[in-house]
Amino acid sequence: MREAVMAQPETVSSRPPCHAETAPPRVLVLGLGNAILSDDAVGLHVVRALRGRLKPDEDIAAVEVEEMGLSLLDYIVGCRDLVIVDSIQTGRVPPGCLHEIDGDDSLTRRGGSPHFLGVGDTIACGRLLGLAMPERIRIFAVEVDDPFTLGESLTPPVAAVLDDVTDRVLQAARSLATA
Amino acid sequence: MEPAVKQAFNQGNLRANAAYQASRRNVTIDPITRLEGHGKIDIYLDSKGDVERAYMQVPELRGFEVFSLGRPAEDMPQITSRICGVCPTAHHMASTKALDDLYKVEPTSAGRKIRELVYNTFVLEDHALHVFVLGGPDFIVGPDAPPAERNIVGVIGKVGLEAGKKVIGTRKRLRELIAYFGGKVVHPVLGLPGGVSKPLNPADLPKFQQLAQDGVEFALWTNDVFKQIVLGNPGYVKLITSDAFTHKTCYMGMVDEQNKVNFYDGKLRVVDCNGKEVCKFTAQQYREFVAEHVEPWSYMKFTFLKQRGWKDFVEGPDTPIYAVGPLARLNAADGMATPKAQVAYEEFYKTLGSKPVHHTLATHWARVIEMIYAAERIEQLINDPEITSPEVRRVPTNGPQEGMGVVEAPRGTLFHHYQTDDRGVMTMANMIVATGNNAARIAMSVERAAKGLIQGVKDAAQVPEGLLNKVEMAFRAYDPCLGCATHSLPGSTPLRVKVYDRDRQLLRELVQG
């Protein structure tokens, strides 16, 4: 397994882009979030759990990222397929529900954010600059309860679905890896 | 609900959700329903259908103090840098300075210079990101361009592909410098009470000297791009200088001994709307000069100048309301400490006619001028013979008690304040972030935008569609922190506006993001 085992969240600065040392993985699973903002960290938890379930011969890398926007480019470049796990708060469904978005959907949904670049913008920017961008993108977002309180644990409804969400994301990553 | 029941309920939900996805292949998130994390704006009309008041609320970070209590103070630069994925280095540095004060230890000269070098590199990178990626698209692509084009892709379309590569490439090299000292950009491990953890190896100097030189060129090029595209367009200039985006408040910013802008250290200077100095104080004196006002309609605390007392959301020479950030820093200072930035500074005030400049949207230009200063300051520091000195830390010998630290974060003044027991374990933590310092003026900007657009409204159909965009532009110039979370989804400004009639009945709701 290349680069798939990493105990701590890493950044581009301390870690070269995924293609720098070895060939890029077929599938990169990026877990996004802030580790000390309660449910905001759910993407990080999922990726950590998922990494433990990967078999050594699987061409899947699982990476936790506490950055966003343009910084994501440094991770994404060179990987064939991309799976993103993030948190979201729509208020429309109970916390713990899993949303799934097609990469193409997110690409069409551009718009200025006060601080960050959306995933769609980031990918579009990478393509425009001629960087090797993933061919296929799947985005999973867990509906969260509290992403605003400083804390290192998930709220119960989100913690309760961690296993199931990890299964679902792993299944998606595997189907991309073998396709 | 019993945990077991709750779990069963959630699992059922998840299965139902998965089944739905399977049948439809995916669930499309309608961004319009992302309600919980929204900035909420409530607009109340009077009997004539004009705006009586407009109130804005933003989701805020909670539990900072509780999270900090009982932890060793030395952990605070790491903890606070993790709070926000946007300005980790600002929190790290304010926290490190609070530790210097806590242990009453003066950093060594080389340690201080390395901190300032890293800090200016961070400001340059963050400002560049804002100019080209976040706030800039409004101007570089155009405020009236369709939202689908107002983004980095649109910016590259306008400035050219090679220029786009220059932006992305420079940003990456600047981050490498931060990472050289801090290990990581998002969680730097650099600042220690009394200095820094790592010296600069002389062998690594040439590449950073080259970067500094390129940084200055990059900042000057950015200023040219801005002047050509924005100032060359009379429509943009009219928008920037329009009444809708103008407020006569006080301005706060950190200055050196010559009253020149400094991001890392100095005293905080406040000038009134006529540019007259109101006060000047150190981080340790902040509680004598800054107080927080609470309004019943918001969880947000509105800071104001304590000695003037709270006087509601008013403008003019006596207002206690102040702004922070790039425009405020330029207004609060007498000039820039580096030559090329000083030239740009003088051109800024000459072009906009007077000082202080009260046009909120001029913040975008002020930011570019600060990029020039940051780049020049990097060049000065990297060429300072002392920068490779191995004496980067003075070990503290005093017992801890209380410490305050302040820096100019890219978005404005940032205070950290800690108290500990005699073992250095945290007993109190307070933090005032740039958005808090700007909160009162942001509220005024939102109300102004609403008043400009809503007049004589009798029914829902008369609430203009453009309200949302205009209100968004009013607060986007401040680049406020809408909750310090790292969500990349849905990637647009979450905002909800509700308009109520004179009987407090909801007339219309507009949502985006």
**B225 lies within 8 A of chain A by CB:** no
SS3 B426: strand
Q: B129 and B174 share a domain? A: yes
**How many alpha carbons lie under 13 Å from residue B234 in its C-beta half-sphere?**
0
Size of interface A-B (CB pairs under 8 A): 257
pLDDT at A12 over 80: no
Instruction: For residues B10 and A96, give the distance between their C-alpha atoms in angstroms, rounded to a whole number.
Output: 6
pLDDT value, residue B173: 93
Instruction: For residues A96 and A88, give the distance between their C-alpha atoms in angstroms, rounded to a whole number.
Output: 10
- Rounded to a whole number, what is the distance in Å from the CA of B366 to chain A's nearest CA? 18
Residue A88's DSSP bridge partners are A143
Q: A164, B14: Cβ pair inside 8 Å?
A: yes
| Sites in chain B below the pLDDT cut of 50 | 20-37, 483-493, 513
Tokens linked to B465? 């569609």
Q: B4 and B111 share a domain? A: no
Residues with Cβ < 8 Å from B203, sequence gap 6 or more?
A: none
**A97 lies within 8 A of chain B by CB:** yes
Q: B17 and B114 share a domain? A: no
Closest chain A residue by Cα to residue B127:
A115
The 3-class secondary structure across B64-110, one letter per residue, is HHHHHCCCEHHHHHHHHHHHCCCCHHHHHHHHHHHHHHHCCCCCCHH
* Nearest-by-Cβ selection for A160 from B7, B59, B138: B7
Query: Looking at the domain assignment, is residue A15 inside a domain?
Result: no
Q: B144 and B155 share a domain? A: yes
Tokens linked to B418? 């800690």
Q: B7 and B42 share a domain? A: no
Instruction: For residues B325 and B410, give the distance between their C-alpha atoms in angstroms, rounded to a whole number.
Output: 7
Query: Looking at the domain assignment, is residue A10 inside a domain?
Result: no
pLDDT value, residue B326: 97
Query: Looking at the domain assignment, is residue A58 inside a domain?
Result: yes
Residue A64's DSSP bridge partners are A31
Q: Which residues of B touch A120 (CB under 8 A)?
A: 491
Query: Which chain B residues in 17-46 lie under 8 Å from chain A, judged by CB atoms?
Result: 17-18, 21, 26-31, 33-37
What is the residue-wise DSSP string for B272-299?
A: -TTS-EEEEE-GGGHHHHEEEEE-TT-S
Residue whose C-alpha is closest to residue B194's, from B105, B278, B260, B282: B105
Query: Looking at the domain assignment, is residue A64 inside a domain?
Result: yes
Residue whose C-alpha is closest to residue B451's, from B41, B68, B85, B124: B41
Residue A29: in which H helix or E strand, if any? strand A27-32
Neighbours of B340 (CB within 10 A): 18
Query: Looking at the domain assignment, is residue B188 inside a domain?
Result: yes
Instruction: For residues B139 and B130, give the distance between their C-alpha atoms in angstroms, rounded to a whole number.
Output: 12
Number of separate domains in chain A: 1
Q: B491, A125: Cβ pair inside 8 Å?
A: no
Upstream peptide bond of B490 is cis (omega within 30 degrees of 0): yes
Residues with Cβ < 8 Å from B91, sequence gap 6 or more?
A: B77, B80, B81, B83, B84, B409, B414, B416
Burial of B232 (0-12, 13-18, 19+ CB in 10 A): exposed
Q: B54 and B13 share a domain? A: no
Query: Which chain B residues in 139-198 lie under 8 Å from chain A, judged by CB atoms?
Result: 147-148, 150-153, 156, 161, 164-165, 168, 171-172, 175-176, 178-179, 182-187
Closest chain A residue by Cα to residue B13:
A97
Alpha helices in B227-276 (DSSP H): 234-240
Query: CA triplet B344, B345, B347: central angle to 5 degrees?
Result: 65
Query: Looking at the domain assignment, is residue A138 inside a domain?
Result: yes
Query: Looking at the domain assignment, is residue B501 inside a domain?
Result: yes
* Residue with the larger pLDDT of the pair B485 and A30: A30
- Rounded to a whole number, what is the distance in Å from the CA of A161 to chain B's nearest CA? 7
Give the C-alpha distances (Å, rounded to integers) separating A134 from A102, A171, B198, B479: 13, 18, 37, 31
pLDDT value, residue B44: 84
* Residue with the larger pLDDT of the pair B334 and A66: B334
Number of separate domains in chain B: 3
* Nearest-by-Cβ selection for B29 from A84, A101, A157: A101
Tens of pLDDT along A46-60? Answer: 999 999 999 988 999
Q: What is the pTM assigned to this prediction?
A: 0.84
Residue whose C-alpha is closest to residue B489's, from A145, A157, A101: A101
pLDDT at A65 over 70: yes
Q: B52 and B25 share a domain? A: no
Q: B382 and B452 share a domain? A: no
Residue whose C-alpha is closest to residue A139's, from A119, A167, A160: A119
| Domain containing residue B462 | 34-59+437-512
Query: Looking at the domain assignment, is residue A114 inside a domain?
Result: yes
Tens of pLDDT along B140-199? Answer: 887 777 766 777 788 888 888 888 888 888 998 999 999 999 887 667 789 999 999 999
Return the residue in B64, B189, B487 with the most chain A beta carbons within 10 A, the one to mutate for interface testing. Answer: B487
CATH of the domain at A146: 3.40.50.1450
Q: B232 and B113 share a domain? A: yes
pLDDT value, residue A52: 94
Residue B499: in which H helix or E strand, if any? strand B495-500
pLDDT value, residue A141: 87
Instruction: For residues B141 and B229, give the distance between their C-alpha atoms in angstroms, rounded to a whole number.
Output: 9
Q: What are phi and psi of B42, to 5 degrees?
A: -110, 125
Q: B120 and B221 share a domain? A: yes
* Nearest-by-Cβ selection for B148 from A90, A110, A117: A110
Tokens linked to A104? 């193409």
Q: B46 and B6 share a domain? A: no
Residue B420: in which H helix or E strand, if any? strand B412-420
Strands annotated E in A33-161 = 60-65, 81-88, 98-102, 136-143
Query: Looking at the domain assignment, is residue B455 inside a domain?
Result: yes
Tokens linked to A84? 């993103």
SS3 B8: helix
CATH of the domain at B382: 1.10.645.10
pLDDT at A176 over 90: yes
Instruction: For residues A137 and A139, give the distance between their C-alpha atoms in angstroms, rounded to a whole number.
Output: 7
Instruction: For residues B165 and B171, give the distance between their C-alpha atoms in angstroms, rounded to a whole number.
Output: 10
Residue with tokens 């979030």: A33
SS3 B189: coil
Buried b (16+ CB within 10 A) or exposed e, B97-120: bbbbbbbbbebbebbbbbbbbbbb
Q: B231 and B363 share a domain? A: yes
**How many alpha carbons lie under 13 Å from residue B370 in its C-beta half-sphere?**
37
Query: pLDDT exceeding 70 applies to what percent of chain A?
Result: 78
Residue with tokens 């007498």: B334
Residue with tokens 């480019």: A73
Instruction: For residues B300 and B312, give the distance between their C-alpha atoms in angstroms, rounded to a whole number.
Output: 15
Residue whose C-alpha is closest to residue B269's, from B449, B406, B76: B406
- Rounded to a whole number, what is the distance in Å from the CA of B77 to chain A's nearest CA? 14
| Domain containing residue A128 | 27-178
pLDDT value, residue B152: 78
pLDDT at A24 over 70: yes
